[in-house]
A and B are shown apart, each in its own frame.
Chain A
Amino acid sequence: MAWILLLVLVGFFAIQFFLNYAMGVQNAEYPDEALISLLQFPDAFKLIFSTAQGIGGLLLAVLVAFMMGNEYHWGTLRQTMAYVGDRPQYLGAKVLSLLILAIIITFISLLVGIAFACATTSWLGDLNSDFITLSLAGDTGIVFGGTVLGLTTVALLVFLFTILGRSSWVGLGVYLGYSFIVEMTVMGIASTAGGWMGNIPDYLIGPNSTAFLEMEELGEDIGWQFDIGLPSMPHATLTLLAWCAILGGLSFWLFKRRDITQAS
């Protein structure tokens, strides 16, 4: 399964870069400068991390949902807990695995993205290392950390609901529902509403993850589909950490309380 997901990740990056390249240069007389800029370093880093948050989030959700859900489905959770006895220890190991997966997915996305960006940069301009500065490296590091934090938050959401429903599909369903229905709906409403409703997106996972992409050294903003501002980075960090604490805390509390019965 891991190999399939890796192929999906690489394929998605390929589509992102090559499709945007084709769209950017299709009109030779009036090429899309913004799109072309996004396919070259250093702006390409924004596209890379934006893609990592998108497809990476989905792939991580699948991995986490089945990592925990299969334990219920196969009955191995019951088998293991009959020997381990320490529920927080078991779940702590799972949460650690989830965090490591988030780091790995972000890292692989970065490597794959850099590879594709090298290709598009060389086709569109001049591929050289002049863009590499200490400041860029620092900003890239911050965005990397922010992406990992955003992915971890999403993973914990999936994790909690997989435990709640004792099923991979519940966790995955909640992720899809939250990302594509709840967040989209709320942000759509907030973009036209005023007052306190307009502030709700400041506390959702998506806008706070995207906030990390607004680093100056990484070039022009890639644009945000909703007519609302993104939170600041300190706000985003605190909000996502709060989400992690709540989701993680609820997961531990629920897992500790629940009876572990036969395979579901």
Chain B
Amino acid sequence: MLTLRTEHLSKRFGHIQAVLDLNLAVEEGKIFGFLGPNGSGKTTTIGMVLGLITPSGGRIELFGRDTKTHLKSLLSQVGSVLEGNSFYPYLSGRDNLKLFARILNHRADSRVEEVLEMVKLTSRAGDKYGAYSQGMKQRLGIACALLSDPSFLILDEPTNGLDPRGMREIRELMLDLRKRGKTILLSSHLLHEVEQVCDHIAIIKEGTLVAQGETAELVKDKNLESFFLEVTEEEEE
């Protein structure tokens, strides 16, 4: 079953075509890498999936249902880490999570300490969010995404700001979540990281899909970086 499917998805901002005719298929229980150069439309696509940005055309299905009519109920099964994610600076990390737990559902409240432990933020959970380092902010974003124990996680640059140890921890967390049957959409510039964890990838350039498939099949004898550069450069010619 497909967790996420987009059909002819498009978005235009004025005269800029940010996304054009995008057809993605994210299989259940897989880690799906969503790659592309800066400004290629990855964040816009994620915004459309989460209902933050209204598509100019096309269709989005989550868990087989159209997001246009069922967005609120579908989002209850989705956790997300957005690029530049943010919380209330005057609240502590723990209080921010409790606030979002109240927004999500009553069960989420009981998972606050558990998710803080998963992202190794327990010792600093009582500090104000405004005093957090970039890495700590990112960890809190991941913790928030895990609060409702969602079946689908959308992670936009989740290791941004993390040190190498932190990156490895998040990588291991993603692999563990996949083992537990979760589906993950990972948008990242760190190709070596994507290559280590992703079963499938899609590469987008200037809003258009240029490659999609199983990572091993697409990359073949090369590494992902070479394949990525080849595919994105080829379109420029």
Chain A residues engaging chain B, CB cutoff 8 angstroms: 74-76, 78-86, 89, 257, 259-263
Contact = CB atoms under 8 A, between A and B. Distances in A.
B82 A79 contact: yes
B82 A84 contact: no
A263 B54 contact: no
Contacts of B71: 85-86
Contacts of B84: 75, 262-263
A160 to B, nearest CB: 20
A262 B80 contact: no
Interface residues of B, number: 23
Main secondary structure of the interface of B (DSSP, over half): loop
Interface of B: 47, 50-54, 71-72, 74-75, 80, 82-89, 100, 103-104, 144
Contacts of A81: 50-52
B103 A83 contact: yes
A75 B103 contact: no
B4 to A, nearest CB: 15
Contact of A82 (B82, B87, B89): B82
Nearest to B130: A74
A84 B52 CA distance: 10
Nearest to A1: B90
Of A76, A84, A85, A261, the most chain B CB neighbours within 10 A belong to: A85
Contacts of B85: 75, 79
Contact of B47 (A79, A86, A257, A261): A261
B53 A78 contact: no
Contact of A75 (B74, B86, B100): B86
A83 B47 contact: no
